[in-house]
């Protein structure tokens, strides 16, 4: 799941207001807060932080009616720029269980600063629908604005989450991004696939994470050079 000018914009004020609202939500709803640090921020097989470590706070609110809202904010750490704002994300949706299947619809919006893989701020918005059955889940998303003006995409993903041992969790993911329209660039773009396999281990109140990810067919490009899509990320998270 931001440049100085956008950082003072309406979207960040909305994220801040939502964070305070989540923290003061009534006890009848489920409220969660987690702080974490990762060696890289990767999204669908690409490094969004330009290979630099990030720190994130995630806040979530789940109502018994099925409504849920989440907000997150991140910073990026680099030798050239030091500590800078990186990403802000808002997510809202509705989940309903029917028999053994939980259906889910929602929308997400993310803003990235110029301190990540790009030299200018970028953003994307996506509408999604999915279903979860036991340890498996599937989701399809449509983006009318995927990081570039005039870019529309479809994204499909399959996920599996299970616990093979006490205090150990494994998460597997496979996805494909299908370009629909690239008005700004012209021409067609290949379908992009990505995969991710992660293992987490609880240690006291904290959790340690080891995540491998990759994708293709095009390489990752940031900091003025090409990079392989396969990467290993380590992280730690702590619920508040």
pLDDT in tens, 32-77: 999 999 999 999 999 999 999 999 999 999 999 999 999 999 999 9
Q: Which is nearest to 110 in space by CA: 165, 59, 48, 39? A: 48
Q: Which is nearest to 57 in space by CA: 17, 89, 91, 105? A: 89
For the residues 14-19, what does the mean pLDDT come to?
A: 48
- pLDDT category at 7 given cuts 50, 70, 90 is very low
Contacts with 9 (C-beta within 8 Å, 6 or more apart), sequence order = none
Q: Under a CB-based contact definition with an 8 Å cutoff, are residues 110 and 20 in contact?
A: no
Q: Under a CB-based contact definition with an 8 Å cutoff, are residues 148 and 154 in contact?
A: no
Determine the Cα–Cα distance for residues 225 and 62; give it in Å rounded to an integer.
42
Q: Is the pLDDT of residue 3 over 80?
A: no
Domain of 191 in residue numbering reads as 4-239
| Number of domain units in the chain | 1
Sign, Cα dihedral of 47, 104, 63, 13: positive
Task: Tell me the CA end-to-end span of the chain in Å, nearest whole number.
Answer: 19
Determine the Cα–Cα distance for residues 77 and 53; give it in Å rounded to an integer.
6
- pLDDT category at 184 given cuts 50, 70, 90 is low
| pLDDT tens readout for residues 78-121 | 888 899 999 999 999 999 999 999 999 999 999 999 998 888 89
Which domain CATH number covers 8?
2.40.160.40
| pLDDT tens readout for residues 131-141 | 999 999 999 99
């Amino acid at each position: 799941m931001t440049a100085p000018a956008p950082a003072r914009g309406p979207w960040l004020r909305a994220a801040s207001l939502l964070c305070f609202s989540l923290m003061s939500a009534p006890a009848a709803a489920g409220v969660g807060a987690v702080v974490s640090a990762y060696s890289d921020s990767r999204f669908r097989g690409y490094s969004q932080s330009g290979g630099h470590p990030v720190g994130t706070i995630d806040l979530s609110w789940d109502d018994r009616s099925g409504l849920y809202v989440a907000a997150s904010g991140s910073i990026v750490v680099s030798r050239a720029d030091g500590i800078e704002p990186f990403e802000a994300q808002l997510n809202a949706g509705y989940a309903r269980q029917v028999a053994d299947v939980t259906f889910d619809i929602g929308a997400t919006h993310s803003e990235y600063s110029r301190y990540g893989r790009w030299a200018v701020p970028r953003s994307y918005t996506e509408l999604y629908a999915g279903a979860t059955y036991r340890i498996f889940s599937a989701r399809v998303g449509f983006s009318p604005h995927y990081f570039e003006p005039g870019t529309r995409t479809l994204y499909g993903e399959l996920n599996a989450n299970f616990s093979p041992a006490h205090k150990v969790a494994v998460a597997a993911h496979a996805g494909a991004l299908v370009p629909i329209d690239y008005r700004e660039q012209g021409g067609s773009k290949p379908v992009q696939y990505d995969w991710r396999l992660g293992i987490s281990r609880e240690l006291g109140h904290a959790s340690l994470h080891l995540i491998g990810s990759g994708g293709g067919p095009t390489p990752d490009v940031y900091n003025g050079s090409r990079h392989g899509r396969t990467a290993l990320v380590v992280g730690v998270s702590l619920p508040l």
